[in-house]
Structures are given as structure tokens and as C-alpha cells.
Amino acid sequence: MNNYILSKAMRFAAQRFRHNRGESTRVRQLTYSHHKAAIKTPSPDSTCFAIRTIRVSKPRNKPMFLFFFLFVFVLSNLSPSSSQNIFNFSSSDSPWRPNQSKFLLSPNSTFAAGFRLVPNSRNLYTFSIWYNISVNTIVWSANEKSPVSNGGSLSISSAGQLRLNDSSGENLWPSQDIATGNSSSTVLSLQDDGNLVYGRWESFRRPTDTILPTQKINGTVLVSKNGKFRFGNSTELFSVPSGSTYWNSDNVLQELDNTGKLTKANTGTVLSSDFGDATFRRLTLDDDGNLRIYSFDPRDSKWIIVWQALQELCSIPGLCGENSICTDDGFNSTSCVCPPGFKNNNSQDTACQRKIEITNTGKTKFLQLDYVKFSGGSNLTDLKAENFSICRAKCFANPKCVAFGFKYDGKRYCVLQDELKFGYWSPGTEMVTFLRVDNLETDQSNFTGMTNLLETICPVRISLPLPPEDSNTTTRNIAIICTLFAAELISGALFFRAFLKKYIKYRDMARTLGLELLPVGGPKRFTYAELRAATNGFSNLIGRGGFGEVYKGELPDHRVVAVKCLKNVAGGDTEFWPEVTIIARMHHLNLVRLWGFCAEKGVRILVYEYVPNGSLDKYLFRVGRVGSSGPGMELDPDREDSGGDGMPVLDWDIRYRIALGVARAIAYLHEECLEWVLHCDIKPENILLGDDFCPKISDFGLAKLRKKEDMVSMSRIRGTRGYMAPEWLKSDPISPKADVYSFGMVLLEIVSGSRNHDPRGSVLNSEEWYFPKWAFDKVFKEMKVEDILDGQIKNSYDSRAHFDMVNRMVQTAMWCLQDRPEMRPSMGKVAKMLEGTVEITEPKKPTIFFLGEE
């Protein structure tokens, strides 16, 4: 419209000047120009006008002179921009076409919405929302996969339906059934938080690849712009082409706020690197498959990464093509390289192909690629080869094997590859891939690490003196030899004495300063005097067990600690300190944390974190409690303290959380530690409860510190005989399955609330009664699961709400209590059984060897 008015005014002015030839006024140059202005409006194109050079001589005709300046005044008051900013879109504004330069603003002008040109296109548009501070930052699009041309439009129909029509009239608006309203009153508006709203329809409920602050994440799905990656279930990232999950959050992500805090379920949080700064933020699933939090830097006017889900980008599957290896430079960029013996297909593809095809598998060799792993392919089974030669032979004998992976960690890891997919280089893989190539291949491996042996040969020339000439004076020779021998003996004795004095001096100094044989980053070493002062002379005794007595104390930094004074510890300092260091490096939510130790003058003390709620047995087996199996013995579930001892009763949800936490902790000790650990004494007394009843296992790793005779005594005489696996009494080899048996007994006690040696009203003698067998008969034969439940909360048991959870716990316990170790599942599988992620088949009745089987 402005261009039209301007052209009409210029044409009219030119005609008036031609009719006035007698006038000396002349216009030398009247120009009309367009330029793009970088202003803080959402309009990508603005038009303005300028009169460049106007020279006017002395006016002779005053009316004509006034007319000319009126013309200039009209030009100067024309609108400088052809864009239109609106704050809501109604049916009266329909249709909204892509070439109208119309933009919908939020009330605070932080966000804008409208038609945006698709990159590298001149006439295809998407209807999008973006941050008004940067027009390139699109946070939502309605039709990203189906852009419209100039013939498309956004409109509100007479029936109140919001429609995004393409040139053929097809409605492309997402969730068309919800995007309805009253055509006369419902409007499309953009809120201050970036949420586009029309009636009951909201863009926050249908995100594309970005989550904005205050937007709820629960239940939403993010898809990267290239469509290759998804973020689903609010917890996991997975590749769409392969369907494989490559990242999992420990808890469900819920919401991102303006300070940079990403809230998780169960009060968990993720904090960005600039947490606390008030700035614009967004959570985006990028095209490389990584989930990142971006923060806008107003000084450099750009978005910066303040958090990302994966630090190693190459662990994301699909970044490189087949037969290619992904490498990460550490600066959020990757590159794809071909392994030796391969070359690029073409300049546009990241896949690689062999230089020399393998025609005869018998004439092949292997090239060593250190720290390279291929995670894709149909054959990725761990063969558990005894050694490297066996693993290599299995691949060589398999004509489909193109490579094999091997780890030099003694765990017999061997994987055969029939395809080279999702390859990446990272020292964190701890793996070496041996690539199969033809014997004629001349390429050498450039992926080398610390697995190559270094051979050093240092030639040393040794020359012996010539023997002295024979002497006839035998006595003199003997005297000389004896004198030299005596001198050497005395010198050696004096030297050894001096060395011993200095060694004792420096040893005492090192013990005093706590520097002897302590690795960097190990636990803190306390002196005996420090711990004596912290525990007020070891006066506050809070526990006593097979490993020693436990005292409560407070360190100078006001940390409350539990100080365990060990007894009957085997070995000296050189054996004690490494074991303590290993225990201190075990970090898990459900393990009691070791903070330090003391080792001086024959004293061995461990300093743990203090767990305030005590051990699990105090809540399950209350003092003076009568068995709940008989009539009239059930406790009132409405009372917070059913036992009268001031402690709350654990409900079914808390008991399930305790069982699952203990299972995960034992699985961590068995399967995830660098050096796997057997607990050997799992029982309710060694399960401590935190403020929120989070379980923490204590006394782990201490079995190695005990003398062998004390271990035998502990397992047979201590009050934990009910938790020992049958192999302890049959002198069979002890494996992690012994801990699985003990956990199964504890799990059954959590459900029943009674000791495993309590007959629960059975008519059998205590010598013939076996707790797991009795529970099996009640649940799987008599179908009376209520008979084994804890009387403290038996009345609160709801078969509809609690049956699945209790049934999983009982079935898992039965599998753990099988008398043969090979029948019991691993602790990793036990945790999955409790989580419900694996199917649990009906177990066999547990028996013990001296009772026999029915």
C-alpha cells in the first residue's frame, strides 16, 4: 500500500512540474530506494523511502512551492515498515497468507509467530514460533515436514476450526480435532512463555524438537529436525533408524525453569553451568542426537551450550555411515574417518568401502584398532573366550566375521562382528577391535594406544679384572682376604644400621602426616587422637557386630560420622590400605559412604557417614512384638507407631523401594565395580535407612579384612545362620550366588515382617520347619498370600493395588532361595525382576539339602 501511494504521489508531482515550464524550479534527482533494516522487530524485510538530492532555485510561484513541500511532508509520514505486528489472530483477520509479513507477538514481545521461509527455499513456508531476540531460533513449527507455498494460508473457518491450508486446501494443522472453538470469540494468541493457544489447543502439549522454560516435559515426545532421533518417555534418547536406546535418565525429566534447573522426578535435579543467571533458555534435541540446554548470551548475541546429555558425541549411533569410525574433538563436533584398508564411497557420503575385497577368507589378516568399538550389527554376542588366541581363531573360522572385539581385562570379553556399523573411537571403551582385511592390504593401523608392548634393549658391556699373579706367600694372601672380608662386613653392618634408623624415622614421619602408600584421591587418614576426640572418648556406642563396635561422633567440620573399630583384622598396613582405598571408591546411592580410616599402633578404624534411622531389623522385628500369624495378633494399621516404640510402620511402597535399592546396590558390588566384591553377610542388621528411608548397605568389602579362621567362625557361629546359602555348610565354592540367597531371605522377611526362624504358628518342629518352603506352600499351593504378610500392615493390603508388587517380591525371593547356586539369578537380573522389566516364571519350591525335596 505504501509503495502504491508513493508512486501515485510521484507521478502527480511530475505532471505538475511539466505544466509549469515557466518556473525555474527544477528537481534534479528524485529517487526511491529499498533497504533492509536490522531493527528489533520480528519482520525479516522492511521498506523505507528516501529523497536523496533535491535542488530548488528561488521560487517564483509560491502556491507551487507550498504544494511541493506538502508532497515531501506526505512522503515523510508514510509508514517506514510494511510488516504488521498483532497480538491475537481472529476469524476477522483470516486468511493469513505467507507473503503478508504479518507477525503474532507475545505480550512481552519475547516470542513471535508467523510464516517463515524454509532454509534454501524461496517460496516454501512453515508456520513457526521463535525467540524474538534471534530470528534464526525456531522453537516450534506446525508443518515442518509439509511446508506450504504462497498459495497457502492460516484461517479460522466458520465452524471455528483453526486451519493451515496448503494450495490444495488440505488442513496441515496438528491435532485438528482439538483446534476448534467459537469462530466469533476464540482467537489464536501467543503467551509470554511462548505457548501458542487456540481454545483447548496448546503448542506446549505438542512440541517438535524444543522445550521452553516452564513447559511440562511429562509424556511429551521430541523429534530432531532431521527425524533421526527421538526423546521419549521423558527419560530416554533413541535412534529412529536402528531403534536402539543410547541414553537413559535415572529419573523422569519434568520441567526446565528460567534459572537453568532441570527438575526430575523424586526431587532430582540437573543444574546448568550458568545456573542462577536470568536469561533466555531452551532444551533442544539437536540433529546430532544430543539433548542440550542452551542459554542466550546477550553480549555476543548467540546461544551457548550450558548442559548436554552425552559428553561423548560419537557414542550416538548413526552419526557416521557403514564401515566408518566416528571421532570426537571434544568441542561438540565430530568427524568420520575410514579405517585402514577402506576408502570413502564419495564426497557426500560418510560410509566407507573396502579397497581390496575379501575373496578368500583363508588368506586374510587382522589389523589392530585400539579403543575402537562397533556397536551395531546382528552378531554381538559375548563369547567369553578364554584368551585372545581363541577369540581370534573363532573369528578366523567364521566366513561372515569381518572383525572381532577383545578386552585385555581378564574377563574373557570377545565379540564377533558381521557388520561394521556405529563405529567410534574412545578410550572409555577399553576395547580393541581387530579388523579383517586381505593379505595383500598394505595399509597400517593408525589407531594405536597403550596395548602395544614396548620393547627396550639396553646393551651393557661388562669387563672383569684380570686375576692377580700367583704368590708364594699363602699366609699373606689369606690375611689380605680376611681383612677385606671383615672390612666389608663391618661397613655393611654400619650402612644397614644407618639405613634402618633413617627408614624408621621417615616411616614414623609418613605415618604422622598420613602420606605413606596413600594414592591420590583416596580416603582421608585420621589419627587415633582425632577420632577419640570426635567420639568423646568412644563413649556413644550405637552398634555392635561381628566386625567390631560402632560409635557415633562429630568431626571438627560438624559432620556426624559412624566410627567402626575393627577387630581381628588380617595382614599389615600394606594389605589394609589398598583394601580400604577400594572400599572408599565404591560410590552408590544405596551404599554407606566411607569417608576415612585410622591405622596406627595396631588399631584399625573405619569412618563412615552416619545414617540416622538405624537398621532395617528395628522396623521389621519390633521388640516384644507378638507373631502376627495367630488370631488377634494383627496390629492396627491406622496407628503410626504400631509397636509402641516410637518408630513408624513401613508401608508397602517403602518396603518395595527398600528391596529394590538393596538389590541394585548388591548388583553394583557384583557386576559394576572394577573389582567385584562379595558381601558374605547380607541381613536386615546390615541394611541402614536414611532420612527418607533410602536403604544403604553397610559392612561391604570387609570380608577380605577378616582372618580366614574368623570368616569360618563368623559364617557358622554368628547369629546370621538363617541367611547363609547351603554351599557354606556343604563346603562348596563360594560365588556371588551366596549373596543372592541371603538377599532372597531378607526379601521374604520384608514381606512377612518376621524372622526366618519364626515358625509362624506351624505345627512342625523348629528343626523341620523351613521358612521359604512354608511361604511357597501358602502362596502357590493354598493361594493365601495374606497369610505371609506382615501383621503390622496386613489390614492395609489391597489386592488390587498391592498384589502385583507383593507377588513380584515373593516370586523373586523364591528364585533367589533355590538350593543350587546355578538355579539362582544374578543380582542384576534380580533387580530387573523387582522393577518388572523382565518376565518372572513360576519358581520351583525352594528346599534345603538336609530337608530334601517333595
CB 808 within 8 A of CB 750: no
Strand 421-425 to 325-328 pairing: parallel
SS3 301: coil
Cell triple for 591: 551404599
Distances from the Cα of 403 to the Cα of 81, 365, 395, 414, angstroms? 64, 10, 7, 11
- Which residue of the set 681, 758, 787, 790 is catalytic? 681
Q: Any idea which residue has 559412624 for its cell?
A: 562
Q: Which of 264, 257, 310, 263 is nearest to 288 (CA)?
A: 310
Cell triple for 517: 602408600
Other CB atoms within 10 A of residue 850 CB: 10
CB 84 within 8 A of CB 1: no
* Cβ contacts of 757-762, under 8 Å, gap ≥ 24: 757/722, 758/627, 760/627, 760/629, 760/788, 761/627, 761/629, 761/630
Measured over the CA atoms of residue 150, residue 152, residue 158 and residue 160, the dihedral's sign is negative
Q: How far apart are CA 165 and CA 170, in angstroms?
A: 5
Q: How far apart are CA 753 and CA 622, in angstroms?
A: 9
DSSP 599-647: EETTEEEEEEE--TT-BTHHHHS-TTPPPSSSTT-PPPTTSS-TTSSS-
CB 272 within 8 A of CB 286: no
Concerning whether 798 is annotated as a catalytic residue, the answer is no
Q: How far apart are CA 279 and CA 276, in angstroms?
A: 9
3-state secondary structure 381-406: CECCCCCHHHHHHHHHHCCCCCEEEE
Tell me the catalytic residues. Answer: 681
